[in-house]
Structure 1
């Protein structure tokens, strides 16, 4: 077994401290190695008494499904009254992917030309929020369609082309 990645988190909710460890590993000693996810949970009450402990060992291909099933099951048995979170099947294809210089230039060009956030989001296959977040990085003002952000006083030059005093 070799660990590829491991993350540990400690969370305090009310008076209980939860410690969660998620490790991704491969079983190299098998004839057909596969990637596994090991989730370990421990929780202690205010007096240090154990209120939860356990672990799951999952094939990586089913980890997301099992996470949803566990969340749904816990929410329904605790009467939390919240509907479970579901990932939208209609999320944009490029959501979360990195931007490059050409895309930034196209974003700036479209914004200055007067296209709406919705039109630009559709063109780049991203969310409207992702477009609004990217606009300031290319110097555009997301609050004023078609406009650039103002140059801050510390970066302005005087009329003679020199630096400010």
Structure 2
């Protein structure tokens, strides 16, 4: 048995009427394809928008985000704009090995920019991580100083 689910939306903006139809077809189980049809026309019948997308169900969310972001950016209505692509490991957790390597490279005098490229992170991500591994992000090649409240008597008297 084939089941068809359909969602239609019509919106008027000024003198233009827009229509969007989203149709899924199910053959026995879960839907596997989605068809999106869009149209828009002026009162005289001249089309201002027309098209059709046939999508695999698994790609619907990605395509929806891509279209939304792309169209908002094109229209100048915002959307996230990035001049460059994100570094590959931005936002991912750091391992103990990576922390140790970050500390060693910082103490060897590598710059924040070099470390960002090496670890596929942003410079801001590197500067934020350095204090967590005991390094002073304001002074390349140095550890953070031990705060006076944590220094033992001998170290404080020296």
TM-score of the aligned structures, taking structure 1 as reference length: 0.53
Match for residue 140 of structure 2? 145
Partner of 1:30: 30
How many pairs does the alignment contain? 104
Counterpart CA distance in 2 for 1:145 and 1:98 is: 23
After the TM superposition, which residues 12-161 of structure 1 pair with which residues of structure 2 at under 5 Å, given as runs? Answer: 30-32=30-32, 59-69=60-70, 71-72=72-73, 75=76, 85-159=80-154
**Any idea what the Cα deviations from partners look like across 1:34-59, whole Å, max 9, x if unmatched?**
9xxxxxxxxxxxxxxxxxxxxxxx93
Q: Tell me which structure has the larger Cα radius of gyration.
A: 2
Flag structure 1 segments of 5+ consecutive residues without an equivalent. Answer: 1-28, 35-57, 77-82
Contact 2:73 2:81 survives alignment (8 Å): no
Query: For 1:131 and 1:151, how far apart are their aligned partners in 2?
Result: 21
Gap regions ≥5 residues in structure 2: 1-28, 35-58
SS in 1 for 2:93: coil
Take 1:157 and 1:133, find their aligned partners in 2: how far apart are those partners? 28
* Cα deviation code 1:50-91 (max 9, x no counterpart): xxxxxxxx9312232133145337645xxxxxx654235532
> Which residue matches 1:7?
none
